[in-house]
């Protein structure tokens, strides 16, 4: 296992984009999960510091109450990441079950499953999420995760189905059939480990979609407006009229930059994962 980890790190180190993605991802995780314990959040208004420009004291400026934007970024990422990972994981589990069994069983199950996937794909997710969030009063932003996950699985399910259709005729699959292995064993033990690169990349892409969708719902005020959250910062910036004041640009820019950079690091890391699990994509040292 240690040898495999060393080989993976060596592969990532030869890919500048993937290496930057890995470093950025580690930075954001440490910032969001360790940073709040090291950097206290002071919620007290400082009216003499409203909408200050970046300085040594406030490296990302201040908000409409004079609070430090950088401190809010540190404390506002954990919830976003937990919702994104949970939604991505739910989407991955559904996609794996549906796509894997659909490809292996075929027939009527395949027809019904792919028809269902097509139906879900045609649903405008943001509109549906907005409607549901308007009807259901969420008591916790984490409740968004199952809802987002159940709407983002079809694309990955179709991809997994296509991958398994290409693997089902391989020799080791035929050998498993001859040995009387169960369908679940063949799909989930023999086939899926050979698709880990594709599956992990799909998880990351599902997480990126989940981030945008939860930020939109928080920005629209359809989930509880409590605590600290990057989407909540955007909501406050808009509702407090920050968008109309030139001195408030850093209050809007801080969460926007955090969201964009976190998305960029995940996509860059996904590129590195593809090279780890697919030797044909590896660049020559």
Alpha helices per DSSP H over the chain: 2-13, 16-33, 35-38, 69-105, 107-122, 125-135, 144-149, 154-167, 171-178, 183-185, 196-219, 230-239, 249-277
Lowest mean pLDDT among 117-121, 161-165, 203-207, 243-247: 243-247
Are the beta carbons of 210 and 238 closer than 8 angstroms? no
Per-residue pLDDT, 87 = 92
Distances (CA, A) of 32 to 41, 97, 258: 13, 32, 11
Q: Regarding the domain delimited by 2-281, which CATH topology (the fold level of the hierarchy) does it fall under?
A: MetI-like fold (1.10.3720)
pLDDT digits (tens, 9 = 90+) for 146-205: 888 888 888 888 888 888 887 777 777 778 777 777 777 777 777 777 777 778 888 888
The tokens for 222 are 């359809």
Per-residue pLDDT, 279 = 52
Please compute the mean of the pLDDT values over residues 9-31 and round it to a whole number: 81
Q: Where are the domains of the chain?
A: 2-281
pLDDT digits (tens, 9 = 90+) for 27-61: 999 999 999 999 888 878 888 888 888 888 888 88
pLDDT reading at 222 higher than 80: no
């Amino acid at each position: 296992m240690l040898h495999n980890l060393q080989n993976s790190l060596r592969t990532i180190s030869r890919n500048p984009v993937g290496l930057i993605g890995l470093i950025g991802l580690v930075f954001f995780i440490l910032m969001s999960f360790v940073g709040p314990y090291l950097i206290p959040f002071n919620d007290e208004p400082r009216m003499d510091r409203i909408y200050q420009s970046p300085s040594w004291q406030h490296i990302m400026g201040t908000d409409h109450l004079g609070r430090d934007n950088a401190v809010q970024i540190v404390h506002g990422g954990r919830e976003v990441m937990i919702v994104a990972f949970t939604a991505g994981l739910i989407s991955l589990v559904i996609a794996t079950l549906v796509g894997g069994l659909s490809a292996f069983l075929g027939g009527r199950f395949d027809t019904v499953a792919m028809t269902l996937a097509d139906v879900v794909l045609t649903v405008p997710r943001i509109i549906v999420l907005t409607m549901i969030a308007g009807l259901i009063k969420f008591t916790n932003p984490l409740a968004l995760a199952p809802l987002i996950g159940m709407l983002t699985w079809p694309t990955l399910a179709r991809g997994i189905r296509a991958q398994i259709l290409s693997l089902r005729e391989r020799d080791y699959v035929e050998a498993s059939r001859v040995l009387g292995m169960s369908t679940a064993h063949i799909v989930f033990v023999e086939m899926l480990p050979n698709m880990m690169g594709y599956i992990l990349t799909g998880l990351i892409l599902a997480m990126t979609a989940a981030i945008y969708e939860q930020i939109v719902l928080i920005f629209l005020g359809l989930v509880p407006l409590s605590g600290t959250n990057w989407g909540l910062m955007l909501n406050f910036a808009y509702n407090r009229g920050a968008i109309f004041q030139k001195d408030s640009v850093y209050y809007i820019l801080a969460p926007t930059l955090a969201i964009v950079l976190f998305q960029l690091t995940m996509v860059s890391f996904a590129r590195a994962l593809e090279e780890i699990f697919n030797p044909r994509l590896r660049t020559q040292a």
